[in-house]
């Protein structure tokens, strides 16, 4: 299966929080989008790896993505090394995305920055012919390098390089985010409080999207940082 967009997150729910509305918009436009979670979020204070698996499955159905898989790297302890890069290269070559979306380059959770760097470097290495990979007993994979890598914005208020107008798709994003019932605000929950379980955090998803939209003259937006200058064919391509 060839994908147009591959969204990758260190934990289940990273993708939904960071770029869920952008994904919903592109799927509505007929693009094939897939999601890869690097870990099962097993170190999370609330819920379990099994509940996160179920929640991720439900969120994927809400976003109507073409595929979702989990690399089962060690939550909190995965590293950006050859072993992890090779496993991710196999997935990039398998799905051959044009665009990769991944974690924030710098964030409160240590896995986000690590995941960002791991994905970025795996995307580059995936284009090198002398790195040989194959899935199971299949033939060797052809090299593939995505055209661009964009980093969504998470806890920290990083300054975006580009903002996508996601007006009309914020509701779908919130539905996907709230599929993670163990993780977010629930006044009846007996689970310990976490930075993302407060009502303020859930509310922030909307008001941050509104602020991003304000910056570009729309109702809602999602911001991304880029690794290289965005290119346009004409000044009229810019809004």
Residues 55-112 have pLDDT tens digits of 999 999 999 999 999 999 999 999 999 999 999 999 999 999 999 999 999 999 999 9
- DSSP annotation of 232 reads -
Q: Is pLDDT at 24 greater than 90 in this prediction?
A: yes
The pLDDT of 156-170, averaged and rounded, is: 98
Does residue 208 have a pLDDT over 80?
yes
Q: Residue 155's pLDDT is what? A: 97
Q: Which pLDDT score, from 0 to 100, does residue 196 have?
A: 95
pLDDT higher than threshold 90 for residue 136: no
Alpha-carbon gap, residue 233 to 118, rounded angstroms: 31
In this predicted model, which residue has the larger pLDDT, 231 or 83? 83
Question: Residue 29: is its pLDDT beyond 80?
Answer: yes
Strand-by-strand arrangement of the 33-39 sheet: 67-73, 33-39, 5-9, 99-102, 148-152, 221-226, 162-165
- Indicate whether 137 pLDDT > 90: no
Decide if pLDDT at 138 tops 80. Answer: no
* Pairing between β-strand 5-9 and β-strand 221-226 as defined by DSSP bridges: unpaired
Q: Is 123's pLDDT higher than 80?
A: yes
Instruction: Supply the pLDDT for residue 239.
Output: 80
Buried-exposed string 133-155: b where 16+ CB fall within 10 A, e elsewhere: beeeeeeebebbebebbbbbbbb
Instruction: Check the CA dihedral 12-228-239-211 and report its sign.
Output: positive
In the prediction, which pLDDT does 122 show? 98
Q: With 90 as the cut, is the pLDDT of residue 141 above it? A: yes
- Taking 80 as the threshold, does the pLDDT of residue 156 lie above it? yes
* 136-152 average pLDDT score: 93
**pLDDT value of residue 230:** 87
Please state, rounded to an integer, the average pLDDT across all residues of the chain. Answer: 96
Give the residue-averaged pLDDT of 192-212: 96
Residue 139: what pLDDT? 87
Pairing mode of beta strands 5-9, 33-39: parallel
* pLDDT at site 205: 98
pLDDT of 179 reads 98
Q: How far apart are CA 144 and CA 100, in angstroms?
A: 12
């Amino acid at each position: 299966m060839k994908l147009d967009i591959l969204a990758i997150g260190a934990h289940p729910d990273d993708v939904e929080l960071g770029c869920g509305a952008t994904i919903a918009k592109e799927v509505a436009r007929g693009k094939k989008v897939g999601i890869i979670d690097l870990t099962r979020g097993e170190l999370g204070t609330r819920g379990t790896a099994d509940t996160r698996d179920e929640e991720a499955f439900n969120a994927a159905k809400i976003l109507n993505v073409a595929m979702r898989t989990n690399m089962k790297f060690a939550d909190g302890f995965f590293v950006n090394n050859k072993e992890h890069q090779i496993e991710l290269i196999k997935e990039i070559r398998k799905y051959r995305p044009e665009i990769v979306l991944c974690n924030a380059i710098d964030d409160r959770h240590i896995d986000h920055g690590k995941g960002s760097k791991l994905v970025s470097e795996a995307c580059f290495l995936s284009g090198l012919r002398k790195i040989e990979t194959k899935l199971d007993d299949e033939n060797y994979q052809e090299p593939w390098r995505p055209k661009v890598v964009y980093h969504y914005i998470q806890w920290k208020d990083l300054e975006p390089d580009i903002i996508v107008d996601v007006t009309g798709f914020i509701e779908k994003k919130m539905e996907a985010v709230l599929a993670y019932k163990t993780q977010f605000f629930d006044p009846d929950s007996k689970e310990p409080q976490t930075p993302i379980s407060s009502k303020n955090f859930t509310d922030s998803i909307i008001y941050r999207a509104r602020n991003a939209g304000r910056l570009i003259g729309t109702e809602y937006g999602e911001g991304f940082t880029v690794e290289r200058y965005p290119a346009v064919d004409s000044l009229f391509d810019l809004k």
